[in-house]
Amino acid sequence: MALVEDPYALLEKWLKAREFIVVGKGIERADAFDKAIGKARFVEDYFDKGVLFVKQVLSEEPHAILEGIDYSEALKIPKVVGVFTAQDIPGENQVGYALPDQPLLAEGKVRFHAEPIALVAAEDIDAAFEAVERVKVKYKPLPVILDPLEAMNRTDVLVHEENGSNIAFRTKVRKGNVEEGFAKSDVIVENEYRTHHQDHLYLETEGALAIPDFEGRITVITAAQYPHLAQSIVARVLGIPMSKVKIVIPYLGGGFGGKDDEGPLVAAKAALVAYKTGKPAFLMYTREESLRIHPKREATIIHYKSGATKDGKLMAIEVKIIHDTGAYTNRGPFILWRASVHASGPYYVPHAKVDGYCVYTNKFPQGSFRGFGNPSVQFAAEAQMDELAKKLGMDPVDFRLKNLLRPGQTTITNQLLDHSVGIAEAVEKLAKKMGWWEKRKAFTEYNKRSKRYKRGIGIGVAWHGISTSRGVPDWSNAYIKIDKDGSVTVYTGIMEMGQGSPNSSHRQIVAEVLGAPLDVIKIVFGTTDAPDTGATHASRGTSIGAIGVLVAAAKIRERLNKLAAELLNARPDDIVIANGKVYVRGNESKSMTWQELIKQAYARGVDVSATGYFFLPKGKFDDAKGQGYAYPAYSYVAVAVEVEVDTYTGRVRVLKAYPALAAGRIINPVQVEGQMEGAIAQGLGYVLMEQFVFDEKGRVLNADMTDYVVPTALDVPVVEKPVYVEDLFKYGPFGAKGVGEMALIPVPAAISNAVSHALGIRVTRLPLTPENVYFMIKKK
Amino acid sequence: MFYKLPRFNYYRVTSLNEALKLVNELEDFKVVAGGTDLVMDLKIKRYIPKNIIDISRVKELDYIVDEGDKIRIGALTRLQEIVDSPIIREKAYVLAEAVNQMASWQIRNMATIGGNLCNASPAADTAPPLYVLNAELKLVSVEGERIVPVTKFFHGPRKTELKKNELLAEIIIPVEKDAGASAIKLGRRNAFTLSIVAVATLVKVSDNKFADVRVALNSVAPTPVRAPSVEKALIGKEVSLEAVEEASKLVVNDIKPISDVRASADYRREMSIVLTRDSLLRSLERIGLKLGGEE
Amino acid sequence: MKISFTLNGRRVEVDVEPNEVLLDVLRLKLGVKSVRRGCERAECGACTVLLDGKPVYSCTILAPMVDGRTVETVDYLASNGELKPLVEAFVKVGAIQCGFCTPGFLLTAYSLLRRNPQPTVEEVKKAIEGNICRCTGYQKIIEAILLASKLYAEKRSERKEG
């Protein structure tokens, strides 16, 4: 009998599993103990004596021609080893991810305040600080443009002259005929929404240590989210082959997308110094630099018109999305694409027209952040849903249930969703479990009696495409080897930033598929020594990253079953391997240990190593019309919250949050809860307190943790246990879809809808700081 | 590593006399007690002193003493000790209440009450309760000592009544009998944050009339302030919710808020009214007068 | 200048500049990596250490200020068994994600439980207000501290019985 090696067949086989050894259980993470006792190592922990200390020279102007950089005085400091500018880059200075518009170090002009211009390297920290002070940059200031609406309409001031416009990128979605859709609508709601920037505020700032190696090789220990991307950027900047660059990503003190953007750039800066000096070089952003430099969650202006019939069917949406992408597009076009194709929310809408604009301004770039363009557009979409429901005299949940996507329906890109669409069931279960209808009524009654404190309950429902959008290729990969003693090593490019996929779900999947005991499984993650697995972003660590892990493990398992069948004189299909015990189904006396089996494999010529490569099948997508196959699958989420507003001060307290998730198989419920709770807190911070304050020149006035405030333990609500609908995804490992970003996405919608319910005023603008809420009430 | 503190000479003293001699002799110095404010100010180069005098081990300034009609607090008493002190909780609860809303446990374990006052931030959170308690400060120097009311201590942001050779040694709090007092802080989050506005009030009532009213605020003027307009409007008046609400509105006459990254001047003005009202009601409640107003 | 203090049960002597902060002395001079640099502005709690048994931020303490005093970090309290119930609880309930803030939380929680062996949820929240966690949303951290409080109590009663 031929062994099954086809990944589709292997995925399908394991998708059918109904009984599990470790999958679905709250297994403790492999890294938790080391992290608890402080043994886990982060980038800065590798910095030691003898390593060059690198500091950045940052632009003092938001928009200016660079007329000269004079660092002769800096070089006079004895311990200063060198100063490096764009001129010194041996390869390419161009590091833009989506469009070739971004230099590693400013060249010709600067486009935002604090843009990196030069790198100073010194043998000690003090010398590096002093040298930065002595670098004299000559600027010829240009007019500054900060408002994206103004930027769109001006061509006399251009952030990028070569582009001829401040509109960097456009997207379009055209489904059906919106004129017809609105004509058939009985109610129409039209509003403009605004959302603001958010910083990731991972507790560990960006950093990298680059070590020049033998034979012109370079190793970079860096805080990035995709080792192979960091590898390619470093290689490009240095002008050397990727094979000469090795990336090691140790534990990360949080990522949330931010280190996917900035990680490769920090790595390249440290690598540049190491390459030019031949010495190990270390660069770490200060908190202030981190706040000023790295790309942020998009700030948006969203104009949204939607219509529905009187029996509560959504008919049409017309949406204009403007993203303030700042000085560079970074991943802006991808973010805008995601926002555009998700603009409807997870609802069936026959007629849709979406126009997206990614607009340059003289601010820090927009970038990847948990939700990736989606929290802002779901905020707008869900506000529209509440307003339509209000006009129709319907309950917000009832109205949603009439329109939520179900299997067999199409999205606004006209993609047919043939399976894995569990959101309607999830919302219904959630509403019943939390007593939505009763609470909504009770709060409305309470508000009639209460003058000062008003209570509200609101829901946000969202969807999020898994993997890259449209036809952009995506794949998974992993390499597994089993040593003679039975210990299993998995090599993956997925890294560990707290989300836990390598240290929880990957291990569980391997233990499940191989039947090896958990404690012999070791995951080597975040390294270019592993095959390119894609990035740890877009909630793909498990959903996509672990496909390769499952396929590799399944291939080995096929071989082991065949071997065990021979040894135990049974049929391969009857072999059970679980928790390190190998036996014949129904006859446990015919058995052997995992270690014996592996020993036999070595003795009998059975390969116990395998690569699990899987290329995600994708359909066609027409960029001009925004129609076609947008994502292989979608994860779905709903969060409902209860709030209390002190109308005298404007302070909003979120009392309780109720999440529901339709993200396929839940591999580790404890870790999933952790993701949900953390995402809700991060979303709450975004809505209630986090914001950047700029001056008239676009300088950030609150670039520290004193004035960029994030939630403490006293600010977060109780998060109830999530409601799960395991709507299995056929290519996901055991049917899993993405989780990490999910619960943040509907939080702006949920909180603002709850506040709107409490106050009877439609929230259209974030953040809901006490001050903003207070004046919103006062205006009414 | 990332914040380069200026170079300075470091002097450590263990007695008040040593400290006074040093402040008398040295030029261009800063005094460090808990360091939680000063070290930050050194990091951001607000100060670049030649000399640092570390008084954190002057044990003789670390005490809370109950003298019946007054409490004496050594200037080097840590904030957390104030929160935990049975004496303060019993006899000057409003101070413990305000201090418990300051910073975080880690900071309260280092920071001293004297440091918070001498740092003279417009947002000093120990000031409003001390203002309404009519606290006095003992300032000492090699030449002797003098007592000043806490309300005269602040001259402006980072500026105090202290002469170059003086140190703040003690905070003296007269114990108020039959008074209700409370402190409320509004920040951008529920914990560990600088005030947008903080208010403390103290009230005494006899024959259902306001016998004494004291209101103090921070973050709404270059220094913490008392609100005499509110106080005068209430003293002698019949206790009622309307009286409190009307009088609270007058607080805007006593403050000069600015706009900054934390809040706008308008919002601070409005919140000064709300917090004054809320604090007065809470203070009245603490002497058994519940007027409602929390509907 | 030379300072000497008790670090994790041992007397250490180290040459410092007066303008250095304890955080840098621990990380860069004494190799204590479990004390983390998060904000350097006394805002995040990642650099928490115990100074004479009380949690403080090592980023705001001038090195000479610890001369003659006692500093403890997570490594030590974990190795001598003092933290065992807390470590167990944090691991078990899933209170650890990226782990960067965890040592700071453990030290604060440890001090809390010594002061107040059976804290309420509100007391736990108040105690950890100065430790920022950006990953977990705090819920599981609070749960872990409450569980640890039980585990410590069990340990104490075992000791009594034994």
Convert the pLDDT of each residue in A310-355 to its tens digit. Answer: 999 999 999 999 999 999 999 999 999 999 999 999 999 999 999 9
Question: Same structural domain for residues B44 and B82?
Answer: no
Chain A: residue whose CA lies nearest to C122: A714
Shortest Cα–Cα distance, A430 to chain B (Å)? 29
For A408, the token pair is: 């067999």
Tens digits of per-residue pLDDT, A241-270? 999 999 999 999 999 999 999 999 999 999
Contacts (Cβ under 8 Å, ≥6 apart) of C128: A712, A713, C45, C105, C108, C109, C112, C138, C141, C142, C145
- A370-470+626-779 matches A7-40+475-615 in CATH topology: yes
DSSP structure class, residue C13? E
Over residues B242-285, the pLDDT tens digits come to: 999 999 999 999 999 999 999 999 999 999 999 999 999 999 99
Q: Which two tokens stand for residue C101?
A: 């803030």
- B79 and B37 within one domain: no
pLDDT in tens, A592-635: 999 999 999 999 999 999 999 999 999 999 999 999 999 999 99
- For residue C62, give the nearest of B1, B7, B35 by CB distance: B35
Per-residue pLDDT at B218 exceeds 70? yes
Minimum CA–CA partner of B270 in chain A:
A649
A residues 653-672 closer than 8 Å to C (CB)? 670-671
Residue B163 is assigned to a structural domain of this protein: yes
Q: Among residues A621, A542, A346, which one has the least CA distance to residue A459? A: A346
Query: In terms of Cα–Cα distance, which of A541, A442, A429, A549 is closest to A489?
Result: A549
Query: Going edge to edge, which strands form the sheet with A109-110?
Result: A109-110, A64-70, A136-141
Chains touching B by CB (3 or more pairs below 8 Å): A, C
To which H or E segment does residue A218 belong?
Answer: strand A218-222
Q: Cα(A269)–Cα(A283) distance, rounded to whole angstroms?
A: 8
Q: What is the pLDDT of residue C158?
A: 87
B-chain residues near A769 (CB < 8 A):
188
Q: Does A686 touch chain C (CB under 8 A)?
A: no
Instruction: Give the chain B residue whose CA is nearest to the CA of A124.
Output: B1
Listed by start position, the domains of chain C span 2-76, 81-161
Q: Which CATH architecture has domain A7-40+475-615?
A: 2-Layer Sandwich (3.30)
Contact residues, chain C, for A714 at CB < 8 Å:
125-126, 129
**pLDDT per residue as tens digits for the range A524-535:** 999 999 999 999
The answer to whether position B203 is within a domain reads: yes
Inter-chain touch C65–B56, beta carbons under 8 Å: yes
Query: Would you say C103 and C49 are in contact if contact means Cβ atoms under 8 Å apart?
Result: no
Burial of A754 (0-12, 13-18, 19+ CB in 10 A): buried
Query: Could you please report the per-residue DSSP string of A291-337?
Result: HHHS-BBPEEEEEEEEEE-TTS-EEEEEEEEEEEEET--TTHHHHHH
Give the closest of C44, C99, C140 to A40, CB-based. C99
Distance CA C33, CA A130 (A): 26
For residue A166, give both structure tokens: 């401040």
Q: CATH fold of A43-142+206-284, please?
A: Aldehyde Oxidoreductase; domain 3 (3.90.1170)
CA distances from B49 to A518, B3, B7 (A): 59, 16, 8
Cβ neighbours of residue A747 closer than 8 Å, sequence gap 6 or more = A375, A460, A639, A641, A679, A680, A683, A684, A686, A687
Parent domain of B24:
9-54
- Minimal Cα–Cα distance from B229 to chain C, Å? 35
| Fold classification of C2-76 (topology level) | Ubiquitin-like (UB roll) (3.10.20)
pLDDT value for B295: 62
Q: Measured between beta carbons, which residues in chain C are less than 8 angstroms from residue A526? A: none
For residue B3, being part of any structural domain is answered with no
Mean pLDDT of all residues belonging to chain C: 96
Contact C19 B104 (CB under 8 A): no
Q: What is the CATH number of the domain that holds B157?
A: 3.30.465.10
Report the alpha-carbon distance of residue A57 to residue A71 in Å, rounded.
10
Burial A501-529, CB ≥16 within 10 A → b, else e: bbbbbbbbbbbbbbbbbbebbbbebbbbe
Taking an 8 Å cut-off on Cβ atoms, the answer to whether C36 and A31 are in contact is no
Q: Are residues C77 and C9 in contact, defined by beta-carbon separation less than 8 angstroms?
A: no
Chain A residues with CB under 8 Å of B294 CB are 452
Among residues B141, B174, B207, the one where a domain terminates is: B174
Mean pLDDT to the nearest integer, A711-740: 98
A1 — pLDDT class (breaks 50, 70, 90): low
What CATH number is associated with residue B23?
3.30.43.10
Both B156 and B184 in one domain: the answer is no
Do A139 and A110 contact (CB within 8 A), yes or no?
A: yes
Residue with structure tokens 């303030």?
A: A324
Q: Kindly report the number of other CB atoms within 10 A of residue B253's CB atom.
A: 11
The pLDDT mean for chain A works out to 97
* Per-residue model confidence (pLDDT) at position A469: 87
Chain A residues touching residue C138 (CB < 8 angstroms): 677, 681, 711-713, 716
Instruction: Please write the tens of the pLDDT for every residue from A19-69.
Output: 999 999 999 999 999 999 999 999 999 999 899 999 999 999 999 999 999
Q: Give the C-alpha separation, B94 to B101, whole Å.
A: 11
Q: Which of B174, B194, B226 is the last residue of a domain?
A: B174
Q: Which CATH architecture has domain C81-161?
A: Orthogonal Bundle (1.10)
Q: CA of B55, closest CA in chain C: separation in Å?
A: 10
Q: Which residues of B lie closer than 8 Å to A, measured between beta carbons?
A: 1-4, 186, 188-194, 196, 261-264, 266-267, 270-271, 274-275, 278, 294-295
Q: At a CB cut-off of 8 Å and minimum separation 6, what does A162 contact?
A: none
Quick one: B146 and B245 in the same domain?
Answer: no
Do B97 and B204 reside in the same domain of the chain?
Answer: no
Residue finishing a domain among B144, B174, B204 = B174
Q: At what angle do helices A594-603 and A545-568 cross, to 10 degrees?
A: 80
Check C45 against B106: CB less than 8 A apart.
Answer: yes
Among all residues of chain B, which has the CA nearest to that of C22? B1
Q: In Å, how far is B60's CA from the nearest CA of chain C?
A: 17
Q: How far apart are CA A652 and CA A777, in angstroms?
A: 12
Each residue's pLDDT tens digit, A465-481: 998 888 889 999 999 99
Q: Encoding tokens for residue A367?
A: 């970038």
Partners of residue A286 in chain B, C-beta under 8 Å: 2-3
Q: What average pLDDT does this structure show over B216-245?
A: 98
- Does B200 lie in the same domain as B107? no
Interface of B with C (CB under 8 A): 1-3, 5-10, 12, 32, 35-36, 39-40, 42-43, 52, 54, 56, 80, 103-107, 109-110, 191-192
* A423, A737 contact by CB (below 8 A): no
pLDDT at A670 over 70: yes
The β-bridge relationship of strands B51-54 and B70-74 is unpaired
Average pLDDT, chain B: 97
Query: In the predicted model, what is the mean pLDDT of residues A673-693?
Result: 98
pLDDT on residue A321: 98
Judging contacts by C-beta atoms under 8 Å, the chain A residues touching residue C73 are: 38
Average pLDDT, stretch B29-57? 97
The ipTM (two decimal places) reads 0.97
Q: Report pLDDT for C18.
A: 97
Tell me whether residues C73 and A681 touch, CB distance under 8 A: no
Q: How confident is the model at residue C160 (pLDDT cuts 50, 70, 90)?
A: confident
Tens of pLDDT, residue by residue over A549-588, are: 999 999 999 999 999 999 999 999 999 999 999 999 999 9
Closest residue in C to B48 (Cα) is C19
Angstrom distance (rounded) from CA C67 to CA C57: 16
Interchain pair C140, A713: CB under 8 A: no
Residue A780 has a pLDDT of: 86
pLDDT digits (tens, 9 = 90+) for A391-439: 999 999 999 999 999 999 999 999 999 999 999 999 999 999 999 999 9
**Among C91, C134, C140, which would you mutate to test the A interface (most chain A Cβ atoms within 10 Å of its Cβ)?**
C134
What is the pLDDT, as a whole number, of residue A174? 98
Q: Which CATH number covers residue B249? A: 3.30.390.50
The per-residue DSSP string of A154-183 comes to -SSS-SSGGGSSSEEEEEEEEES-HHHHHH
Write the residue in B4, B190, B294 that is nearest to A712 by C-beta: B190
Instruction: Inspect the interface and report whether the beta carbons of A712 and B274 lie closer than 8 Å.
Output: no
Give the alpha-carbon dihedral of A733, A735, A736, A737, to 10 degrees.
110
From CA C31, how far away is CA C24, in angstroms rounded? 9
**CA of B248 to nearest chain C CA: how many angstroms apart?**
30
What CA–CA distance (Å, rounded) separates A116 from A151? Answer: 23
Provide the b/e sequence for A79-91 (b: ≥16 CB within 10 Å).
bbbbbbbbebbeb
Query: What is the three-class DSSP state of B187?
Result: strand
Residue C162 reports pLDDT greater than 80? no
Residue B239 lies in a domain: yes
Tens digits of residue pLDDT in A400-412: 999 999 999 999 9
Interface test with B, best of C19, C124, C132 (most B CBs within 10 A): C19
Which secondary structure element, helix H or strand E, spans residue A386, and what is its range?
helix A374-392
Residues B202 and B275 in one domain: yes
Find chain C residues with C-beta within 8 A of B42's C-beta.
19
Max Cα–Cα distance, chain B, nearest Å: 62
Min Cα distance B266 → chain A (Å) is: 9
Answer yes or no: CATH 3.30.365.10 is held by domain A370-470+626-779.
yes
Number of residues assigned to chain B: 295
What Cα–Cα distance (Å) separates residue B216 from each residue in A470, A624, B73, B128, C46? 61, 64, 20, 5, 35
- Angle B190-B191-B194 from CA coordinates, rounded to 5°: 100
Answer whether C141 sits within 8 Å of A713, measured CB to CB.
Answer: yes
What are the extents of the domains in chain A? 7-40+475-615, 43-142+206-284, 370-470+626-779
Q: Which of A452, A649, A712 is the closest to B189 by Cβ? A: A712
CB contact under 8 A, A32 and C33: no
Q: Which residue, among A30, A7, A218, A18, has the nearest Cα to A671 in the 3D structure?
A: A30
- If pLDDT is split at 50, 70 and 90, which confidence band does A2 have? confident
- CA distance linking residue A439 with residue A441, whole number of Å: 5
d(CA B122, CA B222): 5
Distance from CA of B146 to the nearest CA of C (A): 29
Nearest-Cα residue of chain B relative to residue A768: B188
Per the structure, the count of domains in chain B is 3
Nearest partner of C125 among A695, B192, A691, B259, judged by Cα? B192
Confidence of residue A308 (pLDDT cuts 50, 70, 90): very high
Distance CA A260, CA A702 (A): 24
Interface probe for B, chosen from A771, A772, A774, A778 (most Cβ of B below 10 Å), is A771
Q: Is C99–A714 a contact, with Cβ atoms under 8 angstroms apart?
A: no
Alpha helices in A118-257 (DSSP H): 125-134, 148-153, 178-183, 227-238
Asked if the Cβ–Cβ distance from B8 to C18 is below 8 Å, we say yes
Q: How far apart are CA A610 and CA A615, in angstroms?
A: 16
Closest residue in chain A to residue B271, using alpha carbons only: A649
- Please indicate whether, in this complex, the C-beta atoms of C64 and B54 are within 8 angstroms of each other: yes
